[in-house]
């Protein structure tokens, strides 16, 4: 013979088990979406772009992606917290421009996750921390033109915050003139044959400042 109190306890117990498994299944359903793969960083001339492979999963709506980063400040002074990349939250593209987010020479951890409706994937982290000092500096395009006795040197597609060092010397003469110029350079000169070379100097005046040089042109 089962008492009323025992029967009520069993009913409550069954309800507890039912709602427990219901909540667990709902939680697991949120994380059923596969995580992004092939996460990589392209960094050229201080333009940092995080990329990943499009999600290979069925979704009845547009798959959206969100990106977070974690630098020295977040890792050591904010208990390992992460910062949402402002321009890369719930975006349909499979790339994210982080050029202005990664603003110091510290190592950054980066991660991305996918979303399909209410379903969220787990985060996928970039395999190695990224440091903007590893950016690839390319040779800027240089055009030299003449206008009367004036030499005009014009540069195109320079990295942000870059200056240009121009060395100009007379042919068969070791006398050299070197200066730093942000964009265009004009020089009054006699009618002689001149040679020139240049490189881009990138100087960013922020914490952990570094100087990066492009190859010579």
Q: What is the pLDDT of residues 49-104, one digit of tens each?
A: 999 999 988 899 999 999 999 999 998 888 999 999 999 999 999 999 999 999 88
DSSP structure string for 48-80: EEEEEEPP-S--SS--EEEEEEE-HIIIIISTT
- Homologous superfamily (CATH) for 32-134: Immunoglobulins (2.60.40.10)
162-180: burial string, b at 16+ Cβ within 10 Å, e else: bebbbebeeeeeeeeeeee
Contact 150, 120 (CB under 8 A): no
Question: Among 8-17, 80-89, 97-106, 131-140, which is the least confidently predicted range?
Answer: 8-17
pLDDT of residue 21: 41
Q: Which CATH architecture does the domain made up of 141-213 adopt?
A: Sandwich (2.60)
Q: What is the pTM of this model?
A: 0.65
């Amino acid at each position: 013979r089962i008492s009323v109190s025992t029967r009520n306890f069993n009913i409550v117990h069954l309800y507890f088990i039912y709602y427990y498994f219901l909540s667990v299944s709902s939680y697991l359903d949120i994380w059923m979406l596969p995580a992004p793969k092939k996460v990589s960083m392209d960094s050229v001339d201080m333009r940092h772009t995080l990329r990943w492979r499009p999600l290979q999963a069925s979704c009845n709506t547009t798959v959206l992606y969100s990106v977070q980063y974690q630098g020295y400040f977040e890792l050591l002074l904010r208990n390992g917290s992460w910062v949402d990349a402002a321009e890369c939250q719930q975006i349909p593209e499979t790339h994210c421009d982080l050029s202005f987010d990664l603003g110091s020479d510290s190592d950054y951890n980066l991660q991305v996750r996918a979303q399909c409706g209410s379903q969220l994937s787990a985060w996928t982290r970039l395999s190695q921390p990224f440091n903007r000092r590893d950016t690839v500096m390319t040779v800027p395009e240089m055009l030299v033109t003449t206008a009367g006795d004036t030499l005009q040197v014009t540069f195109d597609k320079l990295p942000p915050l870059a200056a240009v060092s121009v060395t100009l010397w007379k042919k068969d003469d070791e006398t050299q003139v070197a200066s730093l110029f942000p964009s265009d350079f004009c020089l009054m000169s006699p009618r002689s044959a001149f040679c020139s070379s240049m490189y881009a100097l990138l100087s960013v005046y922020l914490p952990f400042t570094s100087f990066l040089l492009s190859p010579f042109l």
